[in-house]
């Protein structure tokens, strides 16, 4: 089973960004929008780790941390805009395992999550497979290799990333804007037709290879990797 993460954060943009990056790494993520909801969801799902904001409505992060520690030793990483040493000390005294000050880099958050989980369990968290296999096709993102009908096909990185992303969720439909956000990133300001161009190039490589899967256009919506 995937490692479960509870994100308790009242800033929706930050919460959804954390969810996106964590899920890309194979974590199962649940979001709570305030401290009270966070405590309820903690009791309901019993996550493997909690990312906990400090300044929130209903209950602040300190109170939630104390409440969790009263019944569980689940790892907690505090997320806050406050960077004073006294705030860090308060968080650690409340029972937090680590403390990250906003604004933060997502790579730092992922590294901290892995480190805290490793310290608490002695093992690395489970990650999503980076190698997908279908009839007559293998997408290997660790080696950045696309193998089609037994032959390696020269494929640029963005085409690989796009194909891997679509194939990771078979039969799920994605809009062009979703694909731009997920594959190209939130800071990409190019035209959505970029997706169309990459899909067209992938189809040229994959057309007619197998009847069990295909890259499908969902008119008026976007694309999906269809598996029969």
Please state the length of the chain: 228
pLDDT, tens only, 183-223:
876 445 556 688 999 999 999 999 899 999 999 999 988 99
CA of 144: how far to CAs of 207, 213, 225, in Å?
20, 21, 19
pLDDT value of residue 191: 66
Mean pLDDT, residues 131-153 taken together? 90
| Rounded percentage of the chain residues whose pLDDT exceeds 90 | 48
95-128 burial code (b ≥16 CB/10 A, e <16): bbbbbbeeeeeeeebbebbbebbeeeeeeebeee
CA of 86: how far to CAs of 70, 81, 91, 114, in Å?
22, 13, 9, 25
Structure tokens at 89: 């000390």
* pTM (two decimals): 0.55
Phi-psi region at 136: left, alpha or beta (left = phi > 0; alpha = psi -120 to 50) = left
**Is the predicted pLDDT of residue 1 greater than 70, yes or no?**
no
Average pLDDT, the chain: 86
């Amino acid at each position: 089973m995937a490692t479960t993460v509870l994100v308790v954060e009242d800033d929706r943009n930050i919460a959804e960004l954390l969810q996106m990056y964590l899920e890309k790494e194979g974590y199962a993520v649940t979001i709570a929008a305030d401290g009270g909801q966070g405590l309820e969801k903690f009791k309901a799902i019993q996550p493997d780790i909690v990312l906990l904001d400090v300044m929130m409505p209903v209950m602040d992060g300190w109170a939630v941390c104390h409440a969790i520690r009263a019944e569980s030793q689940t790892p907690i990483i505090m997320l806050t805009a406050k960077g004073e040493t006294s705030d860090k000390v308060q968080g650690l005294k409340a029972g937090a395992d680590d403390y990250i000050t906003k604004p933060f880099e997502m790579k730092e958050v992922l590294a901290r999550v892995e480190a805290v989980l490793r310290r608490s369990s002695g093992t690395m968290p489970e990650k999503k497979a980076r190698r997908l296999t279908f009839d007559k096709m293998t997408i290997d993102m660790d080696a950045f290799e696309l193998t089609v009908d037994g032959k390696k096909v020269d494929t640029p990185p963005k085409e690989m990333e796009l194909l891997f992303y679509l194939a990771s969720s078979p039969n799920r439909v994605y809009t062009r804007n979703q694909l731009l956000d997920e594959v190209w990133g939130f800071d990409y300001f190019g035209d959505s037709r970029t997706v169309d161009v990459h899909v067209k190039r992938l189809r040229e490589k994959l057309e007619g290879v197998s009847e069990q899967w295909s890259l499908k256009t969902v008119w008026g919506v976007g694309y999906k990797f269809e598996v029969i």
